[in-house]
Amino acid sequence: MLEREIHTATSLVGFGDIKKIRSIDGWEEYLHDGDAYLRTGIGAQAKERKAFTPEILYNIIAMAIEKFVMAALMQRGALPYNHTMGDLVESMEEVFPHAMGDLKDALLDLDRYQEICDVDTFNIISPAKEAIPAMLALAVRMQKLVYETTGGKKK
């Protein structure tokens, strides 16, 4: 009797029950928007334009990273709970387990510059000019990871 119940319970799930992941439309746009933000940040850093302060470059880099993460998540039919680096990292870990590697800690470190979600603990710290190249390198690594995970094609 028990063998029959076990057989019946295990045969209830089959390959036909596995749902195909449906991507969210527009993920490629997010990917290419991330490319554009990253190009802007790299170009502004290389030309040392005064208008691009470390704060502005930080925000451009953060937007590039956010766009890359959103593209990867949307391509897999997922969205983050929020858009802090912590939330983006958490969502990436859920959808792409272990893919983040050492990017995880570096991305989480970016959140310390801007804590703007809670009005009571609103805090902005300007990054040092010397921190920008490492942030750009981080964004380039994130771009590479997202292109690898999505199979996206560069324009």
Look up the CATH number of the domain holding residue 60: 1.20.120.330
What is the C-alpha to C-alpha distance for residues 122 and 116, in angstroms, rounded to an integer? 5
> For residue 104, what is the enclosing H or E element?
helix 103-110
Structural domain count, the chain: 1
Residue 85 falls inside a structural domain: yes
The amino acid that residue 44 corresponds to is: A
Tens of pLDDT, residue by residue over 116-153, are 555 566 567 788 899 999 999 999 999 999 999 998 77
Q: Are the C-beta atoms of residues 125 and 112 closer than 8 Å to each other?
A: yes
Q: Are the C-beta atoms of residues 37 and 61 closer than 8 Å to each other?
A: yes
- Please state the pTM of the whole predicted model: 0.81
Tens of pLDDT, residue by residue over 15-35, are 554 556 788 999 999 999 999
Residue 10 falls inside a structural domain: no
Task: Show the domain range for 140.
Answer: 27-150
Residue 66 falls inside a structural domain: yes
Residue 134 falls inside a structural domain: yes
Tell whether the torsion through CA atoms of 100, 72, 139 and 64 is positive or negative: negative
